[in-house]
Chain A
Amino acid sequence: MDAYRDQYATVFGDTSKVQLLAISVDPDTMQAAWAKEKGYTPWTFLSDSGAVVGTAYGATRAIPNGLLDNRTLYVVDKKGKIAHVMAPFREADPTAYTELQAAIKKASGGP
């Protein structure tokens, strides 16, 4: 998440045109506390505590004491269609952010 924060303007661009939603099985209170602590802005965290959405998107896997989401990233275009999939999203690889930036620009129809 630090990488999203530090490269937000470059990768995601205009917040009026692109919305980043970060989804995990954590309770919303935990996500909010973490976002505040780390200064995670301007995006939104979503709490998928039942892993229903993660399962629908093929991101959730079972672990011995519950469920977790793999790092999986989707770009959804203005019409609500999946435009780009990164599964897994290689969060430590700088080229993953270049790929994401290009996919967002393409989906947004911008330059």
Chain B
Amino acid sequence: MRVGVSIGTLVLVAAGSLAAQQPAPPPPGPPPLAVGVEAPDFTLPASTMAGLSAKPVHLKDLRGKTVVLAFFYKARTKG
């Protein structure tokens, strides 16, 4: 137990000095947005099963419609 604590302390000290020398890792992404806030605007390249779209999609251009934004892992994965 005592050995474990000492090693743990050593690791902490080592991690501390490393952290002092290197930039911190990127923070985790922000949490999902809340209901009621304005959806952040964006413009992204678009495609459909007919191929690449000539025009990108600009979220603001879709005002007046209900828009469902479905973020997903990757093409060719389930869901």
Contact = CB atoms under 8 A, between A and B. Distances in A.
**Secondary structure class of chain B's binding surface, majority of residues:** loop
Contacts of B34: 82, 85
Interface residues of B, number: 46
**Secondary structure class of chain A's binding surface, majority of residues:** mixed
Contacts, number: 193
Interface of A: 1-4, 12, 16-26, 28-36, 38-48, 52-62, 68-85, 87, 89, 91-92, 100, 104, 107-108
**3 A-B pairs with least C-beta separation:** A91-B79, A32-B47, A59-B71
Interface of B: 26, 28-42, 44-53, 57, 59-60, 62-76, 78-79
